[in-house]
Structure 1
Amino acid sequence: MNAPNRYELFVLEDGEKPVEVSEDTKIPNAATIKVVKQDHTLANMIRAQLLAMPEVLFAGYKVPHPLHPYFLIKIQTDGTITPTAILEQACTKLIGQMAALETKFKREFSFKEVEPTEGQDVYGTVGADGAGGGAWSSGRDYLDF
């Protein structure tokens, strides 16, 4: 089979750089960043976070070939910030979002160990009148209890 060994898809070799930046000479305030040993999962999250930032004019990525574990992300900014600095900010925001998601996820599974008493709904899906809705109809998220 032509596929590389599984560990080669995520383990950096000696001297291999995880990120390489090359400034774009034809487009102002643009750069192409090569991220090694990652795939669509990280690339799409970074792209989406970059597009949510007002300083970014363009952000897109491509995976040149599925057997080569890297992606290229191109970023163009409005000139108030460099592409590498905005990428760093986007990654910092993503790390914060993932930490918050992890906290909510762990908190949700801590509710699994709580046994509801008679007539009590731990997740707030039943209203006080016994009908459906509960916290959902009030606009609160079930993680906000």
Structure 2
Amino acid sequence: MNAPNRFELYVLGDDEKSLEITDDTKIPNAATIKVVKQDHTMANMIRAQLLSNEHVLFAGYKVPHPLEPYFLLKVQTDGSVSPTQAFRTACQLLIAQLDSLQREFKREFDLQAINDVDSNQAMASRAGAYGDYGVGPRAGDYADF
């Protein structure tokens, strides 16, 4: 197939930079940012975070070709902050949000594990009292010879 090896999609080469920022000369307060070895997932998160900034007028991205592992992000600001600074701020906020999400996720799983242990112990004690099938002994269950 024409697809590159999987490791080429995420491992930077010796001469590759993960980020290239180029100022746009035709549009005021605009820049094009090339992010290497990333895909639509990261591009869309950064774009959405940029658009939540009140100083960003435009943010969009494109993946020029599906077999090339990079995307181009275009950012235009109102001039009160530079596109590079808006990009940096958006990335910092995303990292903080993802860190918070990870902590909440771990906390919920820890609470779920505690609840599972408590419920498993309760079920084990009930099973011991009622037998393997959870049904208590009834009169006439045992043959009387």
**TM-score with structure 2 length normalisation?**
0.79
- Say which is worse superposed, 106-115 or 42-51, in terms of deviation: 106-115
Aligned to 2:16: 16
Aligned to 1:141: none
Output the CA distance in 2 between the equivalents of 1:43 and 1:33: 11
Aligned to 1:37: 37
Identity of aligned residues (%): 64
Aligned to 1:70: 70
Output the CA distance in 2 between the equivalents of 1:115 and 1:68: 46
Aligned to 2:111: 111
Aligned to 2:123: none
Aligned to 2:59: 59
Shift of residue 111 of structure 1?
A: 1.3
* Per-residue Cα deviation, 1:61-85 (whole angstroms, up to 9, x for no partner): 0001110000000000000111011
Structure 2 letter corresponding to 1:55: H
Output the CA distance in 2 between the equivalents of 1:45 and 1:115: 34
Shift of residue 115 of structure 1?
A: 2.9
Output the CA distance in 1 between the equivalents of 2:22 and 2:114: 53
Aligned residue pairs total 118
* Per-residue Cα deviation, 1:98-138 (whole angstroms, up to 9, x for no partner): 000000000010012223779xxxxxxxxxxxxxxxxxxxx
Aligned to 1:47: 47
Measured on the aligned residues, the alpha-carbon RMSD in Å equals: 1.3
Query: Secondary structure at 2:103's aligned position in 1?
Result: helix
Output the CA distance in 2 between the equivalents of 1:47 and 1:15: 27
Gaps of 5+ in 2: 120-145
